[in-house]
Structure 1
Amino acid sequence: MKDDDKLLQEAKEAFERAQDNDGVNYQLALDDMCFARLGDQWSDEDRKVRDVEGRPCLTVNKLPAFTRQVVNDARLNKPSITTHPVDSQSDPDTAAVINGLIRNIETVSSADTAYLTALASACDGGLGYFRITMDYAYDDVFDMDIQIERVKNPLTVHGDPHSTSLDGSDWNSAFVSEWIPNERFKKDYPNATLSDWEDSYDESWQQKDEVRVAEYWKRVEVERKVVMLTDGTIMEREQFDAQEALFLTAGFQVVRERTAQSYKVTQYIITGEEVLETNDWPGKYIPIVPVYGEEVAVEGRTYYKSLIRDAKDSQKLYNFFRSAQAESVVLGTKSPWLGPVGAFDTDSDKWGTANTENHAYLEFDGPIPPQRINPPAVNMAAVQEALTANDEIKAVIGMHDASLGARSNEVSGRAIMVRQREGDISTFHFMDNLSKSIRQGGRILVDLIPKVYDKPRMIRVLGQEEESENVQINKRFNAKGEDKIYDLTTGKYDVTVRSGPSFTSKREEAATQMIELLRNFPQAAPVIGDLLAKNLDWPGADEIAKRLKS
């Protein structure tokens, strides 16, 4: 109990430090998201004054189009994780199986949704997150599978305030917290203590009808014994001791031993009152990955800027001058009537609404008929200022009409592509940060796979064309007359991330270029006919390719 009290105090102090460190960034992120996504672009005071005066208060929100451009570009050029063998105990065939397993994990988990949600949050608010979890493969088995999940609300995550990495690889602490109603808390944790709100002095953890439940992730450096066997196999001393008799019977002995530095990660589920759960995590990384926007370090503090933050003032100006134009047009339809004194006495009720309502006829007194005053001309200064503000939004973000698919002053296709490339380059740091974060996600997966997929079992792997195959791992099997084994528990693998069109897009492009080649050089048809058929998006294309090849 004393250990729990000590841990709880440590966690609350760490949570307070993390909140203080993230406070400015999270407030700016919240303001940016409300501004860009919810259209909260007028101050309450200005909106109230305009409502009272009956003046237009328009919000013509141009910012989501820029965010969608970056996010949808990531959809078309999805970063893909690739592993490579780096030591003598790893091999390219096993690396291919790990690549297929990672593709399957991403597909089953809808990882693209997790990645794109994090990127959209980074574009709108300056930061986003995705996370990696584990769960049982099926209801009736004990095998575990790895999953990639999105973090819908990035403001619920607090990373290590002492971190200096852009991908969270050096995090030693992290929090994921949420406020849940008291009734749900009692249902989820029936044995937990829920103190009376009036007796609680910590409003950071408990409110009248809600209680904060937080995941406290903690990583500490530990020492572990590593041994080398006579066949060159390297493993932890604990693993060898557990099966020492088996190894000795097989003739394997320890030839070298050393102490290595490693990390132990633990997840605690806590409230402000107690530790609800303690879960050991098998990996050496905290499985939460940040995706940041533009990073700016000033006087010891790090700020993360969204894509649209610097364009907010230009957006406000655009709203103001578009509202001024609308107001000018509306007032033009309400221009008053001008006439001599007494001209409106006979039909005063109708004349009182003549500038806002339509009447079949209007009677007047005297020989001179009233004249309607010409409405004021549209304020061209307001029109010009709105156009200027519109151009400033694009200039500040760095994405021009060609990047947004609109016609501009570029005439040739080459000029359009150059302007589009300028827009891609000006926002490329968002895509690059996503790639770095996905690479860290790949490291976490490669670190977890030997510990989660550590027993003989059948797994599904996916190829580049998303064709599935069941593969036996961690057990010898006969494949086409030769013994093979895909041992995922041994060897070291490095991770790289490549961004580019999907394999389907590449295949379609290859087919188009092959057809163009055959038009100019028909003699190549017998040589590449099967490859062309394989790349065509037809039912039975693979079968046609086989027949052409034979």
Structure 2
Amino acid sequence: MATKDADKKDTVLATAKERFEYALSRESENLERMKEDIRFAASSPDDPWQWDEATRKERKNNRPMLTINKLPQHIRQVTNDIRQNRPSIKYRPADDKADVETAEILMGLARHIEAHSDADVAYDTAADHQVTSGLGYIRVIADYISDESFDQDIYIKRVKNPFRVHMDPDIIDPAGSDAKWCFIDEDLKEDEFKAQYPDADPIDWQYASDAEWYPGDKQVRVVEYFEIVEKKTTLCLWANGETSFKDEERPESVMAVEKPLKERSVMKCECRWRKLNGQQILEGGDDGKVFPSRFIPVARVVGNEYEVDGKNYISGIVRNAKDSQRMYNIAQTAIVERVMQAPKSPWVAPAEAIEGYEKVWQTANTANHSFLPFNHKDEAGEPIPAPNRTAPATVETGLAQIAASASDDIKAETGQYDASLGQKSNETSGKAIMARQREGDNATYHYVDNLGRAVRHIGRIILDMIPAIYDTKRVARILGEDGEAANAILDPDHPEAFTEVRDENNEIKRIFNPNIGLYDVYTTTGPSYSTRRVEATEAMTAIAQGNPEMWQVAGDLMVKSMDWPGAEELAKRMRLMLPPQIQAEISKDEGGQPEQPQIPPEMQQRMMQVAEQMETMGNELQETKSDLQKAQQKAWQEEGKRIKAEIDADKANALLAIEKAQDSAAAANPAAGQGDVQEMVNQAVAMALANLMQQREPEPMPEPEPPMEMPQPEQPPMDGGMPMPESEVPQ
């Protein structure tokens, strides 16, 4: 078993060394040129790296050697424009399970990761290397949020030295998303190495045995080794639309006896991490530590990239401008050298003229003598010509023209002309100046675009890491585009991608599950939020000047966009003065209850007076209604008595008619039986009752009058807060 583990370790180390050597062989030429470009761009009078070694030695003491470096201005023109227009990570739903609100929360989470990681430093460093030498890198790591917590978070880190990164040279994607392996090396002092790895031998990564190790001040090089491990597996599609790998647990909604609808073979990618020295695996083990992403967590930021005869060439903005910069330095140095020689033009004199005064004339060009004596006659008394100075050296006009031409060549090679550099040019109108500036921006826009691709890949890595890092329910801190902080509950077991609920305090809580749905990653490049805020303020102010009524419906937004102390507080107060319908819509959009408008005190007093008047009128109306009901009741009682008297009279008349009918029947047929007589009496009674009913029709009962409705008071106007006129108050 030990032999098997040792063989595996040796295989890992051998493979890593083979890949490392392959990367160096493919990129060594580019690395040397990139280092030279950085040295050339960083040249200064103290470090005249723009001059070759032989010229520096020749001119070191006696001749001028100027370094007037014009390249940093052109480099900063591009990099500072990038700093003002950094790419931003954006997410959007990519399938029907994803949610727009979840995408917004993911963007807020990415902004939080960028903020607490100081990602702007990482982006700017990569852009500086990209523009100067042609290549920079950005990396992503996962680490604990503190020494006292088990929660991890995602961090975007700066790669200060791009020459420490050695990525798979066979990549196709410019950001390196398809890289299969990558190395990041670092140097540790011997005591640091022993403190971190007390059981390991201080063997440098480039060496394989102690024989080539020299103790002392030498540093130990170790490497972080990332590799993508591909594993063939089967992807299953279930009846509910969910998918899972065959060698993993099924989704909870899939029954154990259920069979997949479809299956297909796929290559599952997994990133493994190790730390190595020359002959040992220091961290990660033989199998490597799983990094929670399908990608190598390093993004490549490239400048200019060409492939010639199967070889890859990388450069930045410096490479093509080096010769013009050298020519400019030479021309300016030649001009200065001519000027320096002008006051030192030699004197021409006969030897007899300065005989006896040699010491004075030897310092004629270095000392300020009040006069220079000479012999005007020889021994024979013949006159001797006076000494005279030769004509001073003049600066040739061609040198100035060479310097000007070299300066223009630098502008052409960097794609930046006077208008782009803020200098006055032959353009006079604002439109012409902006057109020339756009030409300069177009000439260097590929640097911005390539950085955007790298940041997009960073967003892809972060999205891949979120489910593994945020694997338990926690409150995630998110940042809005304006930098305002908020919280959202991240729950990997939540059944939906996004849900809003109200807690016991009636506050809205947002719960999201990043494991549900697919999301696309894209970037936007533009001015920072503060810059766009200033532009928005200027635009809204211009609109309000032409349309003053805009202050009544959008005054809070205008004030909120302004950047001065108290703007936020004033915006809140102005919001309270908005019309009720707008406040209702705002509250509806925010998911809360509509805010009630504040009523001015004078209006409240007027409303109380109206309410008192309406209460008095209601009491009087109630009394009138009660009297009316009493009168109606008395009338109904009188009518009932009258009807009862009429019924009693009708009853008496009916009895009398019955008696008469009996007597008439008995007199008309004395022989009839008792039953016949009774039948005759019944017929007579029925006829009598019918006659009575025809004579007396009952009058209908009067319907009660409907109750009088109490008038409703009119609502006071809320648009202007003005009290109701006296003429409109109900009396």
Please confirm whether the aligned pair reaches a TM-score higher than 0.5, indicating the same fold: yes
- Opposite residue 268 of structure 1, the aligned amino acid is R
Tell me if structure 2 keeps the 8 A contact 1:227–1:254.
Answer: no
Tell me if structure 1 keeps the 8 A contact 2:331–2:399.
Answer: yes
Bigger CA drift: 140-149 or 267-276? 267-276
* CA shift in 2, pair 1:254/1:81, >3 Å: farther
Tell me if structure 2 keeps the 8 A contact 1:200–1:206.
Answer: no
User: How far apart are 1:133 and its partner, in Å?
Assistant: 0.6
Aligned pairs for 1:89-488 within 5 A: 89-194=97-202, 209-224=218-233, 232-235=241-244, 240=249, 247=252, 256=260, 258=263, 260-278=266-284, 279-366=289-376, 368-474=385-491, 478-479=501-502, 484-488=510-514
Q: Secondary structure at the match of 2:50?
A: coil
Separation in structure 1 between the aligned mates of residue 321 and residue 334 of structure 2, nearest angstrom: 20
Stretches of structure 2 that go unaligned for 5 or more consecutive residues are 1-5, 378-384, 495-499, 577-731
Separation in structure 2 between the aligned mates of residue 450 and residue 462 of structure 1, nearest angstrom: 19
Tell me how large the CA RMSD over aligned residues is.
Answer: 2.6
* CA shift in 2, pair 1:94/1:55, >3 Å: same
Q: Deviations over 1:396-427 (max 9, x none)?
A: 11110111111111111111111111011011
Tell me if structure 1 keeps the 8 A contact 2:207–2:213.
Answer: no
User: How far apart are 1:202 and its partner, in Å?
Assistant: 10
Q: Secondary structure at the match of 2:36?
A: helix
- Opposite residue 67 of structure 1, the aligned amino acid is I
Compare the two structures and name the one with the higher strand fraction. Answer: 1
- Opposite residue 501 of structure 2, the aligned amino acid is N
Separation in structure 1 between the aligned mates of residue 353 and residue 412 of structure 2, nearest angstrom: 56
Bigger CA drift: 529-538 or 207-216? 207-216
Q: Deviations over 1:25-70 (max 9, x none)?
A: 1111011001111341011001111225x11111111111111011
Q: Deviations over 1:265-324 (max 9, x none)?
A: 111111111111112211100001110011111111111111110110000000111100
Bigger CA drift: 175-184 or 279-288? 175-184
- Opposite residue 28 of structure 2, the aligned amino acid is G
Separation in structure 2 between the aligned mates of residue 104 and residue 9 of structure 1, nearest angstrom: 40
* CA shift in 2, pair 1:114/1:484, >3 Å: closer
* CA shift in 2, pair 1:481/1:156, >3 Å: closer
* CA shift in 2, pair 1:481/1:371, >3 Å: closer
Separation in structure 2 between the aligned mates of residue 484 and residue 22 of structure 1, nearest angstrom: 49
Separation in structure 1 between the aligned mates of residue 457 and residue 512 of structure 2, nearest angstrom: 24
Bigger CA drift: 145-154 or 327-336? 327-336
Structure 1 match to 2:524: 498
Structure 2 match to 1:523: 549
Q: 1:26 aligns with which of 12, 25, 31?
A: 31
Bigger CA drift: 54-63 or 513-522? 513-522
Separation in structure 2 between the aligned mates of residue 424 and residue 484 of structure 1, nearest angstrom: 42
User: How far apart are 1:542 and its partner, in Å?
Assistant: 2.8
Bigger CA drift: 229-238 or 120-129? 229-238
Structure 1 match to 2:612: none
Separation in structure 1 between the aligned mates of residue 205 and residue 232 of structure 2, nearest angstrom: 43
Q: Secondary structure at the match of 2:321?
A: helix
Tell me if structure 1 keeps the 8 A contact 2:228–2:270.
Answer: yes
User: How far apart are 1:333 and its partner, in Å?
Assistant: 2.4
User: How far apart are 1:337 and its partner, in Å?
Assistant: 2.0
What's the % identity of the aligned pairs? 39
Q: Deviations over 1:64-120 (max 9, x none)?
A: 111101110011111101001112332111111110010011111111111111111
User: How far apart are 1:528 and its partner, in Å?
Assistant: 2.5
Structure 2 match to 1:84: 92
Separation in structure 2 between the aligned mates of residue 307 and residue 6 of structure 1, nearest angstrom: 42
Q: Deviations over 1:372-409 (max 9, x none)?
A: 33321112111110110110010111110111111111
Structure 1 match to 2:687: none
Q: Deviations over 1:138-166 (max 9, x none)?
A: 22111111000111110111110211110
Tell me if structure 1 keeps the 8 A contact 2:205–2:222.
Answer: no
- State how many pairs are aligned: 543
- Opposite residue 478 of structure 1, the aligned amino acid is V
Q: Deviations over 1:221-267 (max 9, x none)?
A: 123555667765545566636xx8xx48x989866374543211111
Bigger CA drift: 271-280 or 364-373? 364-373
Q: 2:52 aligns with which of 25, 43, 62?
A: 43
- Opposite residue 222 of structure 1, the aligned amino acid is K
Structure 1 match to 2:719: none
* CA shift in 2, pair 1:191/1:377, >3 Å: same
- Opposite residue 339 of structure 2, the aligned amino acid is V
Separation in structure 1 between the aligned mates of residue 199 and residue 415 of structure 2, nearest angstrom: 55
Tell me if structure 2 keeps the 8 A contact 1:295–1:304.
Answer: yes
Q: Secondary structure at the match of 2:481?
A: coil
* CA shift in 2, pair 1:322/1:103, >3 Å: same
Tell me if structure 1 keeps the 8 A contact 2:303–2:315.
Answer: yes
User: How far apart are 1:198 and its partner, in Å?
Assistant: 13
Separation in structure 1 between the aligned mates of residue 434 and residue 268 of structure 2, nearest angstrom: 49
Tell me if structure 2 keeps the 8 A contact 1:464–1:503.
Answer: yes
Structure-1-length-normalised TM-score:
0.93
* CA shift in 2, pair 1:199/1:142, >3 Å: closer
Separation in structure 2 between the aligned mates of residue 310 and residue 338 of structure 1, nearest angstrom: 49
- Opposite residue 412 of structure 1, the aligned amino acid is S
Q: 1:489 aligns with which of 515, 519, 534?
A: 515
Tell me if structure 1 keeps the 8 A contact 2:84–2:527.
Answer: yes
Separation in structure 1 between the aligned mates of residue 367 and residue 552 of structure 2, nearest angstrom: 79
User: How far apart are 1:194 and its partner, in Å?
Assistant: 2.9
Bigger CA drift: 259-268 or 212-221? 259-268
Structure 1 match to 2:568: 542
- Opposite residue 144 of structure 1, the aligned amino acid is Q
- Opposite residue 386 of structure 1, the aligned amino acid is A
- Opposite residue 555 of structure 2, the aligned amino acid is G
1:17 aligns with 2:22: yes
Separation in structure 1 between the aligned mates of residue 191 and residue 340 of structure 2, nearest angstrom: 52
Separation in structure 1 between the aligned mates of residue 79 and residue 206 of structure 2, nearest angstrom: 46
Bigger CA drift: 506-515 or 344-353? 344-353
Structure 2 match to 1:5: 10
Tell me if structure 2 keeps the 8 A contact 1:197–1:207.
Answer: no
Separation in structure 2 between the aligned mates of residue 58 and residue 105 of structure 1, nearest angstrom: 46
Q: Secondary structure at the match of 1:333?
A: helix
- Opposite residue 272 of structure 2, the aligned amino acid is T
Separation in structure 2 between the aligned mates of residue 7 and residue 200 of structure 1, nearest angstrom: 14
Bigger CA drift: 223-232 or 494-503? 223-232
* CA shift in 2, pair 1:96/1:324, >3 Å: same
Bigger CA drift: 173-182 or 14-23? 173-182
- Opposite residue 23 of structure 1, the aligned amino acid is S
Separation in structure 2 between the aligned mates of residue 519 and residue 389 of structure 1, nearest angstrom: 50
Q: Secondary structure at the match of 1:494?
A: strand
Structure-2-length-normalised TM-score:
0.70
Tell me if structure 2 keeps the 8 A contact 1:230–1:253.
Answer: no
Higher RCO (Cα < 8 Å, 6 or more apart): 1
- Opposite residue 557 of structure 2, the aligned amino acid is L
User: How far apart are 1:342 and its partner, in Å?
Assistant: 2.9
